[in-house]
Structure 1
Amino acid sequence: MRSHSESALRKSFINCSKGAAQRINFPKEILNADPAVWEKQIFLSWSDPKSPQRAFLVAETTSGLQGLVMERNAAQVKGGGARMCQICLTLHSSSGVSLVSIPTSKSSQDKYGSIGTYICSDLECVAYTLGKKKPDGIRQMEETLTPEEKIERMLGNVQDIFTRVEELLKK
């Protein structure tokens, strides 16, 4: 991922108003990172420290730099078993994956315009994909893909989410 200014990051959010994008809290590590750090990023994801149920995803897509505002479901998942992140396809215990709602309307009045997907609760999809992090207590599926192929698959999954949101925003 190339280095981007704070202004470019704020303008990238496709599913919120300009005013809401101006109020997004960015981690200091993102805003103060040097270009070498940016090059190691596949996409950016973080939680709002002031409002942990809010999460953000920014990626370079076929439409350019794009960002999404997401809301985590506060309800705890009942029952055991494994859940899979729809971005990195990592299996987690039920508490390791969160259902997020991605608004598909820029208006805060429209409460019903959203899509849902499951993502890693800690938003560390890149670390799981690169094998730098492993979820506790869940055995992962054996894969024969190279790290580059896993990254490509993950980016395809991210692109699919952005495409779905863009299609619903046009309606």
Structure 2
Amino acid sequence: MIALTESTLRNSFVNVSLRERKAIVAPADLADRDWDRLDYLGWRDPKSPFLGFVVAEIDSVPFGLQLRQAEQPTRSRPQCSWCSDVTLPNDVVFFSARRTGRAGKAGNSVGTLLCAGFECSKNVRRLDPPAYLGHDAAAARDRRIESLRAHVDGFFRDLMSED
């Protein structure tokens, strides 16, 4: 992922009002991030714990989305829709995001299950123990990274589509 400045990050949001965009609290450690190991940037608002923010590169352009966590917890332990990790060391919660354009202004949103702290990039880069003799753990990791990128890309494109 390309390195983002606070200004670029703030201007990337497409499903918020101008007032909401100005109120976004950027991560304090933005300059210290390992951008080469991130498939998207995600963080929670420290003042409003039910708000989350995700910025991803779509066609080499950063786009940001504001997400809202459901207040009710899920009934069972779900699997993250983006990293699809079955051995998650973290919680997965339901987030919804307002669509862009007219659909968003009409109140339409899309929901998905995501790692509560947006740990997907870290989860997909773990080398799993060999599943069978001759298992290529590095190739499996590379497939998980590509799958994560495809899921993130698909979610963003779905939210930004005018259908």
TM (normalized to structure 2)? 0.82
Kindly provide the amino acid, as one letter, of the partner of residue 151 in structure 2: N
Letter in 2 for 1:21: R
Matches within 5 A, 1:6-17: 6-17=6-17
Structure 2: gaps spanning 5 or more residues = none
Contact kept, 8 Å, 2:79 with 2:85, in 1: the verdict is yes
Please give the secondary structure, in 1, of the residue aligned with 2:148: helix
Cross-structure match for 2:120? 125
Relative distance call for 1:70 and 1:151 in structure 2 (3 A) is: same
Tell me the equivalent position of 2:85: 90
Give the CA deviation at 1:27. 1.4
CA separation of 1:92 and 1:17: change in aligned 2, threshold 3 A = farther
1:51 paired residue number: 48
In structure 1, how many angstroms separate the alpha carbons of the residues matched to 2:39 and 2:73?
29
CA contact (8 A) 2:74 2:94 kept: no
Matched to 1:17, the amino acid is S
After the TM superposition, which residues 1-171 of structure 1 pair with which residues of structure 2 at under 5 Å, given as runs?
A: 1-30=1-30, 32-33=31-32, 37-62=34-59, 64-78=61-75, 80=76, 82-91=77-86, 96-105=91-100, 110=105, 112-131=107-126, 145-167=139-161, 170=162
**SS of the residue aligned with 1:68?**
strand
Measured after TM superposition, the shift of residue 97 of structure 1 is 1.4
**Percentage of matched positions with identical amino acids:** 26
Secondary structure of the residue that 1:98 maps to in structure 2?
Answer: strand
* 1:66 CA drift (Å): 0.7
In structure 2, the residue matched to 1:138 is none
2:78 counterpart SS class = strand
Secondary structure, aligned partner of 2:52: strand
Q: What SS does the aligned partner of 2:32 have?
A: coil
Matched to 1:56, the amino acid is F
Tell me the SS of whatever aligns to 2:26: coil
CA RMSD of aligned residues (A): 2.8
The list of structure 1 runs, each at least 4 consecutive aligned residues, that deviate by more than 6 angstroms after superposition, is: 141-144
Contact 1:83 1:91 (C-alpha < 8 Å) held by counterparts: no
